[in-house]
Structure 1
């Protein structure tokens, strides 16, 4: 099959995609992929063609991402957006994190791509913590001409709860004047009085005189970045504050402007971000050209380190421990290293740090190293491994710097155990795939990243490790100006975030890092990756209390039907892990089906787009009790929202108590979480089956499957509770919603619903009850101005029943549905 044929298929699939739900489209593309494979069976190009098809699928999914860059009423609007694009261009908040009880200002930027003018439309804002509503919804009016952009954003102010260290999800539902849903979007909100529990770290390298610091901070704020590393803004490693704090050269000869740094810091503090000054913990430079030598600045040579006579690097034995970086205009190209255990060096460098932090207003110190280079020798003949000095040095730094934050990078995770047990505020390590952990295992795989995140959490009593993990570094050097491999980045993110870690990957006005020298910009993000990263950061904020808030690993059994699945990160499988905390049991599922290796670095730019899985049936062996199951994901099909899953079976066997449920879609990463609490809005039925979201109180169609696009859920005119379901269109339509229950106790059931059909006159409007193995029962819905209760009766003989509402109608005709109940007689 040639690319031209794919292009034709692509054009055919776009309107189908735009008119279907995510699930139905994914089922379509999956079926089509199977057809293509059958057609190409026996051809040696099958794998290559499947990769092309996966690219098409990825592009189609990326249609949900719309990009823009503008300023609206003085508010910078980043090009980083995660919206469906039909109406909402961007949804963001005014700060990266908030104190308990703070007011959050939510901005929704509108561009009307709906094809019609909207006058007096409504945006409903819902506020959730995990599966629960935490505040009353708010509704704000807006108007927008077709093809136009509102001159000011839609603004909603929300006072967050008083609970500390909690993540929330805000959902915006954008409707026209007739109540028809045009678009939805979500944004995370972190309520934390400090950044160290849930760090989200970014970087800055642009310190020129006229840098747009305000927009750079606004952009990173939109990713909820709450800590910033000011990379190479120092004068020299041993003298981070220049004598002239207005302008100076860094070691590479770049001009650094003090007012630019102060401007960054001012904007960052307004957004509740902390500012970390960066330099080495034990390095100094000398320069015979300009006379800027470390000994002239008060550094003593007898504080230094030399390669010992036992060092494995034979050519270096007896030589001064140095590191050559590169030839630079300043001549400061060689780092000379000193003993972090030496009290003289400690007093010197920590005094310099205090001076630097106070001169520019930093909030803390990010110390760096060059990793572990084997046994060293001091001037007085003592032998030392630098990694063994970390605990003592960092504890001394924390005491000397007072209320300033302290963190350090043990490169390659060498000596990380000594950092983990120190008094640092935040954990950070630069991972390289060739370095090895304490058991000799290389850090080259997804599971190796996860293992280090988990081990650091245990050793540090619960801290969340930040991992840079430079993606595709060698590829970027060889192909400057190219794009990151989106699949590779998202899978590495998923491996680290699902383990409870964090990343340093974003900085400089929304750029992505791929080199240990941060100013290098060899690769860039495409539009799809930008949108996925926005979703990723919203997700790790909204679900921080399930990702890195006291969870511990378990060995609870998981079985995935009809697919390869493993606790190991085996290529071609669903990689799962299980955790538990005081309330929830959690399964993390990362999709490696269709991925040909489990190595995260991706320097070969190999295919890392998984084959999207639909209707993934899972058996889970639980502890305690489980009565509610939910799934959430940063993938576009979920858009960070929690979806209720029906427990299809609850039983036990020789391995223990288990439940079974079906996950609708797994693209990259799904998180399933379970609790013993009863689900909201559900009615317990028979043998552990329940009607999900019977009153639509989740604020959406959770639990229901829709056929047609003329349906929505809102909080206008609900018969009971806060929400109702409605059908509506200006044009003629056929619309159906349905839910299938299984595991029911056999018997006669009465099904009731409150309905109203008061605008227009339908051609056909009814409730449909389908008994599997039996017939169908129809109950007509009458026309009238008030809600009425309709009732149907069905006999269940094989444990299954489908409940549906269907309407065929001309334009300008409605149907309202609420409070569906099921009763076993």
Structure 2
């Protein structure tokens, strides 16, 4: 939500070495909500940063408080979880009523790789009174693969304002982009004319638009993934070197169809392409063909990798020689060979419906991704229709892959969106699904193009929009998952530690009308994730009819947690309160027949709150280097 132009620019930067603060940094006595009366927005110049690199903060002020400010102060501090990193920067400013000011401040990122930070910005007047406040997350990571935040693009028409669209996604800290249906044909992604071509549906694709997206994304540290099927070809494939001997056919006892395995994309199209025809991913002839096509595409446009897609598992197939197979059983071998073929480029793959995901999890893909549909089942027969089913798959994929964070593109309000084009997303439906995935250690594929949100597997179908409230909450949520990435998906394992809420019903599996709570643990912290299902009558993540109640917000309630290690400090953070800031909480200790516990008063639970605890009385984090500075 940045302004297009600014009346004044004030640059704040210092280069003196800081004095590191090791002690117990208490939260401010009071938090100022981001009212917008002074702070319009706080953003960063890139989506993520390499260790030791420069981070430019952009602080957009709009004085709407009804009076001039002379000798005001802006205080900026960096936090990693509960600890301040470096000293507080303080600068003065003057700003007349109804005037605007754009400030920039430069911070040298710490040298530790794969760390999340929260930058806190407090705006004060000359008397030191807090007027307004805001925060922004900063991800210091040398690669996107540990903490992927995946977005999408689909509009490659002429004269698209690619810079504006990249900027919008950068402000959500999106660090990877899927270029959906950019290609000429699935079996031949590169057209003969790389200036302009049509995709299978007849949409005109302009090469300069693709190039401009890629250049703009690289400039802000986003990776660019060219989308294409791993095994699909369209009409005319025989003229482009695809051999019929490589084809897949429905097995004789497969009720899904007869003849060559195919998928209908449309009844008609301007190009005459209506169907995808599928080829055997295990066939070395097909592999060599499609790997060569992908390498040509990556090189021609300087993509950073390949996002491979499927149409899911359709039962037993057979080859041209009569051998039978299931497509999902070919994934591991195909993907390992693909990764070897594309070398240093990234590989992402979508086993639709998470069918065969166990074969992807043990492959050499760089990032996990699975399109979830509520009618499919996991390996234990659990249907993917509930919040808990999403959490369970995120956890299972993490274990099977050795710690990778699963990206979940679960399409919200699917049928409602088809019949209510131009309507707004249900905020509660979106935020509860987001919380279910992120709290479990996963990630979402939901934001893209011109700040849109997905409701359909065909990405150009942008039927629903985010209203202002949801946009604000999504910005806050993405700041949160960046700032607390080291508590969400950095080696945490689920525990069975007992959790009690004396005044509320609790569920470990996301049941309606209860607090969904469970514990996690790493080498430093014990963590409790709380998702609010109070007042929510159904646990269906999809909200297919567009209906989802807002949870009943509660505050100052008691939590009893039975810990593993001794607890000497307790903190809370939430994307729903205090601008994502950590709060230090008071607690008492006790012991009963179930073990040692702490009693904690939890300040609030709207959608999602996270408690984290340490045996260290001053918190668990310690800065390692002394070269951090503003």
Structure 1: stretches of 5+ with no match in the other structure: 1-66, 76-81, 287-292, 681-825
CA 1:83–1:299 in 2, change beyond 3 Å: closer, same or farther? farther
1:219 aligns with one of 165, 168, 179: 168
Q: What's 2:95 paired with?
A: 144
SS at match of 1:418: helix
Q: Over aligned residue pairs, what C-alpha RMSD do you find? A: 1.4
Q: What is the aligned partner in structure 2 of residue 709 from structure 1?
A: none
| Separation of aligned partners in 2, 1:324 and 1:72 | 50
Correspondent of 1:250 among 174, 191, 199:
199
Match of 1:117 in 2: 68
1:501 aligns with 442
For each residue in 1:430-488, what CA deviation from the matched residue of structure 2 results, as whole angstroms up to 9, or x when unmatched? 00011111111110000000000000000000000000100001101010000000000
Give the Cα–Cα distance (whole angstroms) in 1 for the partners of residues 131 and 310 of structure 2.
52
Q: Does 1:304 align with 2:244?
A: no
- How far off its partner does 1:143 sit? 2.4
Per the alignment, residue 578 of structure 1 pairs with 519
Which protein has the larger Cα radius of gyration, Structure 1 or Structure 2? 1
CA distance in 2, matches of 1:625, 1:412: 42
Distance 1:83 1:207, change over 3 A: farther
Normalising by the residue count of structure 1, what TM-score does the alignment of the two structures yield? 0.71
Q: Work out which of the residue numbers 642, 658, 672 in structure 1 matches 2:582.
A: 642
Name the CA distance, whole Å, in 1 between partners of 2:324 and 2:476.
49
Work out whether 1:657 is the aligned partner of 2:596: yes
Matched residue, 2:16: none
Q: Distance in 1 between matches of 2:171 and 2:94?
A: 25
**TM-score normalised by L of structure 2:** 0.93
1:262 maps onto 2:196 in alignment: no
Q: How does 1:416-427 map to 2 (within 5 A)?
A: 416-427=357-368
Decide whether the 8 Å contact of 2:248 with 2:317 is kept in 1. Answer: yes
Equivalent residue number for residue 631 of structure 1:
572
1:148 to partner: Cα distance: 2.4
Q: How many residues align?
A: 596
The Cα of 1:679 is off from its aligned counterpart by 2.9
Indicate the structure whose relative CO is greater, using CA pairs within 8 Å and at least 6 residues apart. Answer: 2
Aligned partner of residue 242 in structure 1, secondary structure: coil
Paired residues of 2:34 and 2:579 also in contact (CA < 8 A): no
Residue by residue over 1:529-578, the C-alpha shift from the partner in whole angstroms, topping out at 9 and shown as x without a partner, is: 00000000000000000000000010000000111111121100000010
In structure 2, the partner of 1:295 is 238
Query: How far 1:498 sits from its partner (Å)?
Result: 0.1
1-structure distance, mates of 2:199, 2:460: 12
2:481 corresponds to which of 540, 544, 555? 540
* CA contact 1:627–1:675 (8 Å) conserved in 2: yes
In structure 2, runs of 5+ residues without a counterpart are 10-32, 620-630
The answer (yes or no) to whether the contact 2:2–2:60 under 8 Å persists in 1 is no
- 1:600 is the counterpart of 2:541: yes
- The alpha-carbon distance between structure 1 residues 68 and 104, as it changes in their structure 2 partners (threshold 3 A), is closer
Matched, 1:518 2:452: no
1:50-69 equivalent positions in 2, closer than 5 A: 69=3
Contact 1:142 1:154 in 2 (8 A): no
Relative distance call for 1:412 and 1:603 in structure 2 (3 A) is same
The one of 148, 156, 180 aligned to 2:105: 156
Displacement after TM superposition at 1:606 (Å): 2.0
CA contact (8 A) 1:83 1:90 kept: no
Deviations 1:370-394 (A, max 9, x none): 0000000100110010000000000
Moved more, 548-557 or 505-514: 505-514
Three-state SS of the structure 2 residue aligned to 1:457 is helix
Which deviations, in whole Å up to 9, do the C-alpha atoms of 1:484-537 show, x marking residues without a partner? Answer: 000000000000000000000000121111110001110000000000000000
Q: Match for residue 694 of structure 1?
A: none
Q: What is the distance in 2 between the residues matched to 1:68 and 1:186?
A: 15
- Tell me how far 1:105 sits from its aligned partner: 0.4
Alpha-carbon separation, structure 2, partners of 1:267 and 1:195: 17
SS in 1 for 2:5: strand
Secondary structure, aligned partner of 1:482: coil
Q: Tell me the alpha carbon deviations over residues 188-208 of structure 1, each in whole angstroms, 9 at most, x when there is no partner.
A: 000000000000000001111
Which shifted more, 132-141 or 422-431?
A: 132-141
- Pairing partner for 2:120 from 168, 171, 182: 171
1:72 paired with 2:6, answer yes
1:285 aligns with 2:209: no
Deviations 1:658-700 (A, max 9, x none): 11010011000000000001137xxxxxxxxxxxxxxxxxxxx
CA distance in 2, matches of 1:652, 1:180: 44
